[in-house]
Chains A and B, each alone.
Chain A
Amino acid sequence: MEKKSVWKKITGSREASLVIVLIVLCIIVEILNPTFLSPTNIGQIFRNNALTMIMALGMLCILLTGGIDISITSILAFSGMSVGMLLKYDILHNTFLLFLIAAAIGLVAGGLNGLIISKGKVTPIICTMGFMYIWRGLAYVMSNSAWASGEDVAGFSDFGKDGSIGPYVLLVLVYMIFFVMMKWSKFGRKIYAVGSNAEAARISGINVDRILTSAYAIMGLLAGICGALSVAIYASAQPNMQYGKEMDVIAACVIGGVSMSGGRGTVVGTFFGALIMAIIAKALPLVGIDSIAQNTVKGVIILAVVLLNVITQRVMDKQNLERREM
């Protein structure tokens, strides 16, 4: 009986199975390369993947509503290029204000996504695909294909420099806010309600359109902040930055147990999902897998973890069913 309850505990929570995956991954990598779990390396994992980890939270909100947003890295590029250009042409050098501007740009871009999806009834993937091209294109247009480079962004980039605590503080702050918001705030619960059953939510008096718009606006806000953060961390603003990385963000959510059909997913799960993606990114070059094979291995790991997730979920559902029958 005792044995069963431990088993139940482990299988009873998707987060727990993610932690196990995480530990197994870490042990394997640590055996292959003992430098992996050094403090500097762990610091680098968080710093270098802060963008994916932060944006995964926004993606969580959107996936919860049953939508998807593939315009995020384009919004990131546009806000990042805006910051880069402001710095390059000596218009503004205040780190806080630059982050604020980037966040505002993101908020507007995300809000537009939300309005078109909720009011215009455009499918999320189509709407955000359009904006994916628009924002990315505008990033090129604005900068005239040029970069804002190391020296242009000097000073601002101190925020994201190796050794600066800036990115970590931001990361912790955003995760704390989201943890509280999604678990206890009215708004957070409404997102779950809309995602589980939009019709029921509407009948119970929730303004579904407003929730949808807000979810996309929040995603945009985070993408905008990440634009500035990216410039700070990599000391470079390029119109093609983070190209294609929206898939990593979605993958982080899916690994973290967020359902693509809406209504199911947690901040903690997302955190672990993003962390697993971060560890994969960090570990693959470390363990001596041939560069050209790394993407394949990455895909295999993602699939394996997702499959494990699905199996855990099935066991969980079965247990719940059994309990009810009892």
Chain B
Amino acid sequence: MKKKVLSVLLALTMTAGLLVGCGSSTETKTDTAKEETTEETTEAPAKEETTEKKADEKTDDTASADGIAGKTFAIVVKSAGNPYNQKEAEGFQQIIEANGGTCIIKEPEAATADAQVSVIQSLISQGVDSISIAANDENALQSALQEAMDAGIKVSCLDSKVNKDSRSTFVNQAGTQEIGQALMDAVYDITGGSGQWAVLSATSQATNQNAWIDAMKSIMTEDKYKDLELVEVAYGDDEPQKSTDQTQALLSKYPELKVICAPTTVGISAAAKVLQDQKSTVKLTGLGLPSEMAEYIGDDDAHSCPYMFLWNPIELGNLGAYTAMALVQGDITGAVGDTFEAGDMANSPYTLTDAGDGGSEIILGAPFKFDPSNIAEWKDVY
């Protein structure tokens, strides 16, 4: 009897644990997913502001080049051995050297804040003029970066930010609005302007994904998209297994479904596999890693994804370099509303906007489109 009571108790605790486990596992998952796919993770701005461009504050271009020669610009990426980081650093180096500056690339061995702290300290003692960093931790670098700023070094971050007290400004690879617009237009284009579509997201509490989905929903209220019907937002929790289940469920629930939009790298590759294996007529778009998605991208019926988006790490490096130069020359101070020229980059001049955390940010622009014409070239990059 005692044993039986014990076993019932254990069974109950177990199931209770399962419930709790389910909740917390998804939370931790977001964290790990964040670590892994740093390239896709932005500390998304909670608030998105459309600021007026103050073109009158534009600075003189010819003066710029002179101020750069002889100056040293350092970029600290997240870690060595990651092709995405390398492309980012390459993009940075390219612009700095084209403008006559000296570029130092630092790649810590591990993607930890500790490793970056010691790199920052060695850069301070080298006496560089600027540090651009893709942070491994939002807060842990604060004392090292403040020390750098006290030493007169201009500190900016790119790809993944540090808190507002540790930086002048943040080069954000993807604005919520831009991503929402790009995805919405893709859905519009692939469906042919009308019909049912669904979203396959990460977890229901994933900040980035929710912000992007909300942006899509608000864009969808425009008259142009009135014939599109968003039937469901499904959550695959960034697990291949659950994403597969959710994709299959979407297919059987909505026989009229035309497009699935998955703004998450795990979700999009799981959905791509389901659709392609089943030879489904439903098409896919979203945000994905080229290396994960190469097999599924194509215009014909044999491929499930006509095109998808992510940002371009080289351009992110480029903009990081222009930002660092603008800071060193004093063209910008990091205040919201500052404007600077970024060579022949598509969206130049750039304006600093409110990052939503009390600091400022610069948004790179619309995400980069991966389609059959360029996927072969990008799949080996990251």
Binding site for B on A (CB under 8 A): 33, 35-36, 38, 41, 44, 48, 51, 144-147, 149-152, 154, 161-163, 230, 234-236, 238-245, 247-248, 250-251, 254, 259-261, 281-282, 285-286, 288, 291-292, 295-296, 298-299, 302-303, 306, 309-310, 313-314, 317
Q: Quick one: CB contact mask for B298-332 with A, threshold 8 Å, 1 for yes? A: 00000000000000000000000000000000000
Q: How far is it, in angstroms, between the C-alpha of A242 and the C-alpha of B238 when the chains are bound?
A: 10
Whether A261 and B7, one on each chain, are in contact in the complex, defined by CB atoms closer than 8 angstroms, is: yes
Given A145-B111, A251-B14, A306-B11, verify A295-B270 contact (CB < 8 Å): no
The digit string for B267-289, where 1 denotes a CB below 8 A from any CB of A, is 00110111001100000000001
Tell me, in angstroms, the Cα distance from A162 to B295 when the chains sit together: 16
Interface segment, one of B25-33, B113-121, B216-224, B352-360? B25-33
Known contacts being A33-B252, A285-B246, A292-B204, is A302 close to B241, with CB within 8 Å?
no
Query: In the assembled complex, how far is the CB of residue B371 from the closest CB belonging to chain A, in whole angstroms?
Result: 16
**Residues of B contacting A302 in the complex (Cβ-Cβ under 8 angstroms):** 15, 18
Which secondary structure dominates where chain B touches chain A?
helix
Name the CB-closest residue of B to A302: B15
Q: Does A299 lie within 8 Å of B19, measured CB to CB? A: yes
Contact of B296 among A41, A150, A161 (CB under 8 A): A150
| C-alpha spacing A158/B249, complex, angstroms | 23
Q: Hey, which bits of chain B sit against chain A, CB under 8 A?
A: 3-4, 6-8, 10-12, 14-19, 21-23, 25, 28-29, 32-33, 35-36, 79, 81-82, 111, 204, 233-235, 239-242, 244-246, 248-250, 252-253, 266, 269-270, 272-274, 277-278, 289, 291-296, 379
Give every chain B residue within 8 A of A151 (Cβ-Cβ): 291, 294-295, 379
* Among B11, B15, B273, contact of A235 (Cβ-Cβ < 8 Å): B273
Given contacts A145-B36, A146-B82, A281-B245, contact A250 B14 (CB under 8 A): yes
- Known A-B contacts A161-B277, A243-B28; the reply to A48 vs B241 at CB < 8 A is yes
Point out the residues of chain A lying under 8 angstroms from B379, CB to CB.
Answer: 151
The 9 closest A-B pairs by CB, nearest first: A244-B25, A162-B277, A285-B249, A234-B240, A299-B19, A149-B292, A260-B10, A150-B295, A35-B252
A245 to B82, CA, bound (A): 28
Is there an interface contact between B18 and A251, defined as CB atoms closer than 8 Å? yes
- Is B11 a contact partner of A162 (Cβ separation < 8 A)? no
Cβ B239 vs Cβ A243 within 8 A: yes
Most buried by A among B10, B21, B249, B295: B249
